[in-house]
Amino acid sequence: MNRATDILDSVAARKSIGQPFALATVVRTVAATAAKAGAKAVILPDGTMSEGWIGGGCARAAVLKAARDCLADGKSRLVSVQPEATLTGQGVKAGDEQGGVRFAKNMCPSQGTMDIFIEPVLPRPNVVICGSSPVAVAVADFAKRAGFAVTVCAPQAEQIAFAEADRRIEGYALPVDEMAVRYVVVSTQGRGDEAALLAALAVDVAYVAFVGSRKKAEALKAALAERGVAAERLARLKAPAGLDLGAITPDEIAISILAEIVAVHRANARERAAPSV
């Protein structure tokens, strides 16, 4: 098996388990360079280059920094490593960014030029559905079609309500640590509201919503507060769930919920991508 095949196998394996990483690919070389066009490397969030090779110290530092930035904001980068004289001739210096290209200085004796494209490979955002109500089933269907991963949490006897799911959890115990961004929808139709909300509010997620009336949600919040759930945790609960579209049917309510999830997801993405000041 050649090196390129090894890299592709590693990429597929890491994607299958939802592990975030950056993939660096040499897309152009000029003059003598250690790595040639097509060379690839897998870079983990801690900066480890786990598989592959894209050259030595000439490009490594710049590529690792770009990879960390990619994983932080989800945006790809193109890094051009060039001799100092070549950079000066273009009116740029190491660290400058122009036209979507980040420039870096090649300190190696080879004095070649190498362009490396770095793309983040992040786990799909995950819609976690607690309960098996008609709304819950509809949310799972729409979320799947919108490109989200779907995790179903419900008693075993209720799991049959869902034809498809990327992951199934019996009951409502959510894992504390997850690499993917999670959006939780509690829709148990009274068959486990408190247990599901306790689990959802115990973990850090981007969004947690309850499908039910405002009056019922307030009663559940009061019960959860008596059980020791912190006020700041309870304040995160969106109830009723979804945007106010005047929805009535389970499908309409599910659409309003997914619309709200998309709005939160895109707003968070824009915030991550915004330049720091």
- Domain match, 145 and 261 both: yes
Task: Return the SS3 of 221.
Answer: helix
- Domain match, 108 and 131 both: no
The pLDDT value given to residue 176: 84
- Domain match, 194 and 246 both: yes
The pLDDT value given to residue 5: 63
- Domain match, 176 and 144 both: yes
pLDDT, averaged in runs of 10, over the chain (277 residues): 68 81 91 80 87 78 89 88 88 88 81 89 92 96 95 95 94 86 93 93 94 94 94 94 95 97 87 56
Please indicate, yes or no, whether the overall pTM of this predicted structure exceeds 0.85: no
For the chain, the domain total comes to 2
- Domain match, 116 and 130 both: no
- Domain match, 53 and 37 both: yes
The pLDDT value given to residue 274: 58
Domain boundary pick from 121, 148, 180: 121
**Domain containing residue 232:** 126-273
- Domain match, 138 and 216 both: yes
- Domain match, 154 and 246 both: yes
- Domain match, 101 and 170 both: no
- Domain match, 116 and 182 both: no
- Domain match, 42 and 67 both: yes
The pLDDT value given to residue 277: 44
